Structure 1
């Protein structure tokens, strides 16, 4: 149609401009996304790891509330609309929608409204035996560890006591545990003597102004049974347990039914 002056150039007349334009557009897209929008582009595909039969048998669903990545895939497959964002970005938006919906329906119920204010605590230098006795006497599964300014520097659980005990068939667990928690009479010791050496330093905390909707994912999906509550100065003001969250949700639902 264009004549010999164009056809004599061959397929390179079409190929070269198209390739050059695509390359320029790709470079611009990468620079805009990475430098201006601060996100990976193109987004790498998740690598699916193969699981053994034993792992499949004991696997527990790690997404118990809300939606999963598979749910997003199925929804996109059923839709004829193109969405120019990654799974992570879309998941974040949908999660925010869920949170705002929950707040609209449940009201502004905060951690300060459901937390336990009288909290038993330990310090870095609290002896291991004393800490165990405090937890046993108060029937605690976990206890926050504070510094002198009442800021949370760790948390101690039953597992923190047991992880330092080397079990064997020759000695009973009770003997080893008692020997571990008791203070060493000598000046030097071959085992941890204070809470600071056995506590878990990485602690998830929430503020007293945090809405309870943020507790749901932490406790159901991430498995936290108790979370320290801090104020604006990061000082401990309470603890919130799974039972507190369940009771708050139940009472809220009950009050809603009664009012209707």
Structure 2
């Protein structure tokens, strides 16, 4: 019974990190504090005008705890609160019974917000405040729409814009670009299937369809990685790869790239630990021409290196190499390694052992081939069981 109660009444919310929880709480603290202080400074501490209304607390939960929600976007808070305030003031003025006026105000506000695409749950409290807020609120009349509702909403929105973007969030939230209606998302699932499924629910679901599609795509990737865990980078690594030192002349680095027919060569120290990589793009993007058959660094690149090192560049690999490059462990699964390289836009990556020393490089196409082979093997292993079950059903 307790389990059924929990499943029905306790929501299953995705777990977030402690840092994210602290960021949400800190945002609400700063947002409401700044909104209240600015509002008080505008009207004065002894003014009869309300400074901060209670529904702003509910708006703060959305703007700082779930800023990606469609219900927390700028038009939602501004449009929803203003529409609700207009409806609430009108209901209070024309309906004598306060309970009836409050119920009508909230219901009409919901209908209008859904029609205008600015549904914002705290706006229901705004409509009710306009009716039940007491003489101070009723005396404001339609002025209640501008102050405090409009001013509070705008100030809180400005705080949310500043805080969320300064702390690494994208706000207003830009949903993942939805796929074309007929575009496959993996297996036989398409964007049109997602839209059809959402339409069948016939209720407001608090997630953007583009975000939902992105979640499903990532889930499909994780499922593929889970099925492709047999082959590791160590089994696919090219151990004959030659590494170069950071003081290698650029001309020799280019010769090594051509000789190995590679897009990348690892750069290591004397202990074979990876310091970075040098790629064809490094040479092409960070040089502007040739001088005595050696790539010549651009003027801006030379100045930057001089300021960084306190000496002039010498036309060596250290002048153009990419540091902090992706390195893979030899026990990393092929599917996981392919995903990491795809995210970083790499075709090849260094593979290191447990001691951090270079073993060789691995090619993305080799990883993808091994991943597909592992998935096929996994499906084949389960196929006989499924076939026997089907045969029993037929018999």
Report the TM-score range of the alignment, normalised by the length of the smaller protein: 0.5 to 0.7
Offset of residue 194 of structure 1:
1.4
Give the structure 2 partner of residue 179 of structure 1: 293
Greater radius of gyration (CA): 2
The structure-2 alpha-carbon separation of the partners of 1:255 and 1:131, relative to structure 1 and needing over 3 Å to count, comes to: same
Runs (5+) with no aligned partner, structure 2: 1-51, 68-166, 177-182, 297-310, 384-395
Offset of residue 229 of structure 1:
1.9
Give the structure 2 partner of residue 194 of structure 1: 316
Correspondent of 1:213 among 335, 339, 344: 335
Give the structure 2 partner of residue 247 of structure 1: 369
Offset of residue 230 of structure 1:
2.6
Give the structure 2 partner of residue 23 of structure 1: 56
Greater helix fraction, Structure 1 or Structure 2: 2
Correspondent of 1:144 among 246, 253, 266: 266
Preserved CA contact (<8 Å) 2:327 2:351: yes
Give the structure 2 partner of residue 114 of structure 1: 236
Structure 2 counterpart SS, 1:98? helix
Q: Distance in 1 between matches of 2:185 and 2:292?
A: 44
TM-score (norm 2): 0.41
Offset of residue 119 of structure 1:
2.5
CA RMSD of aligned residues (A): 4.5
Give the structure 1 partner of residue 174 of structure 2: 46
The structure-2 alpha-carbon separation of the partners of 1:90 and 1:235, relative to structure 1 and needing over 3 Å to count, comes to: farther
The alignment status of 1:75 with 2:194, answered yes or no, reads yes
Q: Distance in 1 between matches of 2:66 and 2:370?
A: 42
TM-score (norm 1): 0.58
Offset of residue 123 of structure 1:
1.2
| Equivalences, count | 208
Q: Distance in 2 between matches of 1:42 and 1:100?
A: 25
Q: Distance in 2 between matches of 1:237 and 1:88?
A: 41
Structure 1 counterpart SS, 2:293? helix
